[in-house]
Amino acid sequence: MRGLTRPRSLAGVLAALMAIAGCGGQGSIESGDYTIYVHGTSLLPRGGMTAGVLGTLAIRDGCVVLEWEEEGLWYPVVWPAGTSIASAEPFVLRLPSGEDLALGEGVIGAGGYLSPEDLEVEILDHCLGETREVAVFNPDDDPEKAG
pLDDT tens digits for 9-61?
Answer: 333 333 333 333 334 466 777 777 888 999 875 533 455 787 889 999 999 98
Q: Is residue 1 in a domain? A: no
Ordered DSSP codes for 82-109: T-EEEEETTEEEE-TTS-EEETT-EEEE
Q: Is residue 126 in a domain? A: yes
The confidence score (pLDDT) of residue 106 equals 97
The confidence score (pLDDT) of residue 28 equals 74
- The band of 84, judged by pLDDT with boundaries at 50, 70 and 90, is very high
- Mean pLDDT, the chain, whole residue set: 80
The confidence score (pLDDT) of residue 21 equals 38
pLDDT digits (tens, 9 = 90+) for 91-106: 999 999 999 999 999 9
Q: Is residue 3 in a domain? A: no
Higher pLDDT, 77 or 31: 77
Q: Is residue 24 in a domain? A: yes
Instruction: State which residues form the domain around 64.
Output: 10-146
Query: Could you give the number of structural domains in the chain?
Result: 1
Q: Is residue 52 in a domain? A: yes
pLDDT at 4 > cutoff 50: no
Q: Is residue 109 in a domain? A: yes
pTM for the model stands at 0.77
Which region holds residue 25: left if phi is over 0, alpha if psi is between -120 and 50, else beta? left
Instruction: Provide the terminal-to-terminal Cα distance of the chain, rounded to the nearest Å.
Output: 8
